[in-house]
Amino acid sequence: MARVTGSITESSRRRLSTVRAFGKVSIRNRLALTIVIGAVLVTIIDLVSGGRFPFLSSPLTQNLEVTLASPTWSHLMGTDEYGRDILSRVLAGAKVSVEVTLIVVIVGATIGMIIGVVAGFLGGIVDEVLMRLTDMFLAFPALILAAAIAAAIGRNLQASVVALTVVEWPWYARLARAQVLSLREQEFVLASRTLGASTRRLMFRAILPNVAPTLIIQATLDVGYVMLSMAGLSFLGIGAQAPLPEWGSMILDALSYQPQAWWYALFPGLALTITAFGFNLLGDGLRDWLDPTLRGFRTDFAMGEE
Amino acid sequence: MIRFLLRRVTFILLVLVGVTLITFALERVVPGDPARLLAGTRASQKVVNEVKKSLGLNRPLLSQYVSYVNSLLHGHLGTSIVTRNPVTHDLVQYFPATLELILYAMLFGAVIGIFIGVTSARHGGKIDVVGQTVATSSLSIPVFWLAILLQMFFYSRLHLLPSGGRLAVGVTPPHTITGLYTVDALLEGKLSLFLDALQHVILPALCLAVAEIGLVAKTVRASMLEVLGKDYIRSAQAKGLKSRRIYFRHALRNALLPVVTVMGLEFGLLVSGTVLVETIFSWPGLGSYTDQAINSSDYNAIMGVTIVVAVAYVFVNMLVDVLYVYLDPRVRLT
């Protein structure tokens, strides 16, 4: 039967116990952690082993005798049109995706945070200028602007990273500014202002640390989205270029061999979906932890029926 | 109301200026010197300079920007190097197909998303877990991959739905009234034509709708949970109303308000999605036009689409804002 929760004491107690016993996390969060840690582990193995996974052929080794072979014991996910092992390419793709996404999200969030904090704290003309700048970028659907930028500055992974960062920061700037506006008048900020703290000290010592948690949650929620956008750019042919193993560009290559070589498109997409799912779950978990009102409790009303 | 509208219009004008500033800047960084390109690779520097002068590329940036905006205002977006038509002409031609796709995707997304969101909030427990998992998964699936899978399954395996295009091969499209085949076919009273067009739109629209489903479901669930905690729900319950009536008459109506806001965001997602999905389904719309432009470095076409889509996006969001004020009298007009 449904739990009757929702009272403040109950939810705060649960929050405490989450901190105390990390082993007692919900199945959902455990799944999220497993996927995320898995993706990061694969990335680390890839970096340590120099791009070659144990027991597998290198993701770039061609074997023209087994082109487009369906999955067998020697090639668990089959091979592509050059006879390359899809499993090792899918694993190597994790590195590209995780790396690129983390760079985009971290750089984008940092730039956005700084701009948002400065705009929100200084207010006036600075705020007006920075926020109108932000609105300019938000006026475009993200992927369209990213594609236009990437197509204009060059078709490679670096260009896509720049393009995705450019469309990413405005969201954080807005979020950070909104946070700052509510923090600015809080007593602890007023107190340090009275004590004679400089503007810079107020901004970066008093305000910034309080803005950061919200932005970190937003960033975690964004990882999945950025990962999909990156793959999307590669699928359009303006992200990762051959022969780099990247999930989006693998699916693009697979397109020519559908529907016969079903394994070719299936596995890279599956890897992408699972990884994005893991990060999305983790983001949800983090947000619920901070904002208990969104947890799926049933209200007293819902209890009353039946 | 007048002040509110004035503020919105000023804001939109500012944003539109911003949009042109960004696309203007992008066109400056496009690889290859346009003057060099036009004069030919063997032309001497002198000739290139003259071409530059005739194109106005030696003028100060500000005056270049003014003439750029001027030509935009006259609807000039340059010529596509692929179709050899003015980009404006191409956009007008490809637009209805994409509009049809987006409208169906919005419909599918809203219906399925609201259903999942309401069910999640209403039943809680295991059903909620399932609903939330579906919502989160739908935000994690790359649309282009899903498109390939659905096509493989419904066309190659089951032979249930067509693989792509707007109509079966050899079928004459209806006369252009709205440009939406399903609507035009109905207006002409041709039922079989309507069904054919509908069959073709289902798969691509469903793919596009996927991310929207997750977004709507999450929004509806959260706002349902919030609304259900309100006093007027308690009053309705105290009056002894049936729970079904409370959920759908009292709660859902108010819980749907945030969905209106999400719709603006969705438009951006859907347009981005068409670029990824249309090619797979050979859907002759703006999305496959953009994809083709990207693949052949057709910069005029890429920039044309970018500007037009951004302008459309700005107006959709304005519409959403106005609609919101209209729907929710509590929102102050500032």
Q: In 3D, which of B185, B166, B160 has the Cα closest to residue B175?
A: B185
φ, ψ of residue B124 to 5 degrees: the values are: 60, -165
Residue B36: what pLDDT? Answer: 66
Helical ranges in A76-85 per DSSP H = none
Q: Specify whether B55 is located in the same domain as B199.
A: no
The mean-pLDDT minimum among A74-83, A204-213, A221-230 falls in: A74-83
- Across the range B89-94, mean pLDDT stands at 92
Partnered with residue B79 across adjacent β-strands are B86
DSSP state of B86: B
Residue A173: what pLDDT? Answer: 94
| Nearest CB to B125 within list A2, A228, A293 | A2
Residue A303: what pLDDT? Answer: 35
Q: Which residue has the higher pLDDT, B49 or A99?
A: A99
Residue A301: what pLDDT? Answer: 37
CATH assignment of the domain containing B320: 1.10.3720.10
Q: How many whole angstroms separate alpha carbon A65 and alpha carbon B194?
A: 49
Q: Specify whether B166 is located in the same domain as B301.
A: yes
Could you tell me if A8 lies within 8 Å of chain B, comparing CB atoms? no
Q: At what angle do helices A86-122 and A157-184 cross, to 10 degrees?
A: 40
b/e per residue B103-115 (b: at least 16 CB within 10 A): bbbbebbbebbbe
CB atoms A151 and B294 under 8 Å: yes
The whole-angstrom distance between B188's CA and the closest CA on chain A is 35
Residue A217: what pLDDT? Answer: 87
Q: Is B14 left (phi over 0), alpha (psi -120 to 50) or beta?
A: alpha
Band of the pLDDT at A277, cuts 50, 70, 90?
very high
Residue written as token pair 């793709």: A93
Q: Specify whether B213 is located in the same domain as B178.
A: yes
The whole-angstrom distance between B164's CA and the closest CA on chain A is 14
The mean-pLDDT minimum among A7-16, B4-13, B256-265 falls in: A7-16
CB atoms B237 and A266 under 8 Å: no
CB atoms B140 and A277 under 8 Å: yes
The mean-pLDDT minimum among A91-95, A272-276, B112-116 falls in: A91-95
Band of the pLDDT at B287, cuts 50, 70, 90?
very high
Q: Which residues contact B91 (CB under 8 A, 6 or more apart)?
A: B77, B286, B289, B304, B305, B308
| Nearest CB to A151 within list B18, B152, B302 | B302
| Nearest CB to A262 within list B29, B152, B310 | B152
Amino acid at B201: V
Total domains in the fold of chain B = 2
Q: Which residues contact A178 (CB under 8 A, 6 or more apart)?
A: A116, A120
> Is B50 within a domain?
yes
Residue B200: what pLDDT? Answer: 93
- Across the range A116-135, mean pLDDT stands at 91
Band of the pLDDT at A6, cuts 50, 70, 90?
very low
Mean pLDDT for all residues in chain B: 86
Q: How many whole angstroms separate alpha carbon A175 and alpha carbon A149?
A: 24
Band of the pLDDT at B41, cuts 50, 70, 90?
low
Q: Which residues contact A116 (CB under 8 A, 6 or more apart)?
A: A172, A173, A174, A175, A176, A177, A178, A179, A180, A211
Q: For residues A305 and B173, is the Cβ–Cβ distance under 8 A? A: no
Residue written as token pair 């049109």: A81
- Across the range A84-102, mean pLDDT stands at 89
Residue A72: is its pLDDT beyond 70?
yes
Domain locations in chain A as residue ranges: 21-303
Q: In 3D, which of B81, B94, B88, B79 has the Cα closest to residue B282?
A: B94
Q: For residues A68 and A261, is the Cβ–Cβ distance under 8 A? A: yes
> Is B149 within a domain?
yes
Residue written as token pair 């990060």: A279
> Is B180 within a domain?
yes
Alpha-carbon distances, residue A53 vs A17, A60, A88, A127, B143 (angstroms):
39, 12, 7, 50, 29
Q: For residues B302 and A132, is the Cβ–Cβ distance under 8 A? A: no
Residue B266: is its pLDDT beyond 80?
yes
Residue B27: what pLDDT? Answer: 82
Share above pLDDT 90 across residues of chain B, in percent, rounded to a whole number: 35
Residue A197: what pLDDT? Answer: 86
DSSP string spanning B221-285? HHHHHHHHTSHHHHHHHHTT--HHHIIIIIIHHHHTHHHHHHHHHHHHHHHHHHHHHTTTTT--S
Q: For residues B258 and B70, is the Cβ–Cβ distance under 8 A? A: no
DSSP state of B176: -
CB atoms B222 and A294 under 8 Å: yes
> Is B79 within a domain?
no
pTM over the 0.90 mark: no
Q: Specify whether B180 is located in the same domain as B56.
A: no
> Is B102 within a domain?
yes
Q: Which residue of A has its CA nearest to B293?
A: A151
Band of the pLDDT at B88, cuts 50, 70, 90?
very high
Residue B206: what pLDDT? Answer: 94
Q: How many CA atoms lie within 13 A of B265 on its CB side?
A: 14
| Nearest CB to B148 within list A238, A255, A281 | A255
> Is B91 within a domain?
no
Boundary of a domain, candidates B73, B105, B121:
B73
Residue A219: is its pLDDT beyond 70?
yes
Q: For residues A249 and A123, is the Cβ–Cβ distance under 8 A? A: no
Domain span at residue B57 reads 15-73
Partners of B267 on chain A (C-beta within 8 Å) are 141
> Is B222 within a domain?
yes
* pLDDT per residue as tens digits for the range B197-248: 999 999 999 999 998 999 999 999 988 988 888 888 888 888 888 888 888 8
Q: Specify whether B282 is located in the same domain as B150.
A: yes
Q: Specify whether B68 is located in the same domain as B187.
A: no
Residue A134: what pLDDT? Answer: 93
Q: Which residue has the higher pLDDT, A251 or A25?
A: A251
- The predicted complex's ipTM stands at 0.87
Q: How many whole angstroms separate alpha carbon B127 and alpha carbon B143?
A: 25
Q: Does the domain spanning A21-303 belong to CATH 3.30.70.1350? A: no
Could you tell me if A71 lies within 8 Å of chain B, comparing CB atoms? no
Band of the pLDDT at A24, cuts 50, 70, 90?
low
